Amino acid sequence: MILNIALVILSFAMIGFLYRVVKGPSTADRIIALDAMGITLAGMVAIVSMLLNTSAFLDVILLIGILAFVGTVAFAKFLEKGVVIERGNDR
């Protein structure tokens, strides 16, 4: 029962983050909302895994965490240098 309530609360949080991604006033707000969506999605998958009493979804949680981290690093690089992938001029 408590896990179901937590899943509903996380679903409402996901809707709020989706709104911020669409209507965010700046790119930074959108990226932070996407990162928060990744964390919330990992929590939702963990709750579903507990509800189903299986550990099959643990790899999915790890993958979501890795993708959220890579996205955050790419955004930090974009803020620092203005590009994510640098192209060399020594061709």
pLDDT band at residue 81 using 50, 70 and 90 as cut-offs: confident
**Is 89 domain-assigned?**
no
Which residue range(s) make up the domain with 64?
A: 2-81
**Is 53 domain-assigned?**
yes
CATH code of residue 47: 1.10.287
**Is 91 domain-assigned?**
no
pTM for this entry: 0.83
Dump pLDDT digits (tens) for 17-75: 999 999 989 888 988 999 999 999 999 999 999 999 999 999 999 999 999 999 888 88
The SS3 of residue 57 is coil
More confident residue, 3 or 91: 3
* Residue 91, pLDDT score: 56
**Is 74 domain-assigned?**
yes
**Is 8 domain-assigned?**
yes
**Is 31 domain-assigned?**
yes
| Angstrom distance (rounded) from CA 12 to CA 56 | 25
Q: Structurally, how many domains does the chain consist of?
A: 1
Residue 4 has pLDDT above 80, yes or no: yes
| Angstrom distance (rounded) from CA 90 to CA 15 | 46
**Is 11 domain-assigned?**
yes
**Is 86 domain-assigned?**
no
| Angstrom distance (rounded) from CA 21 to CA 33 | 6
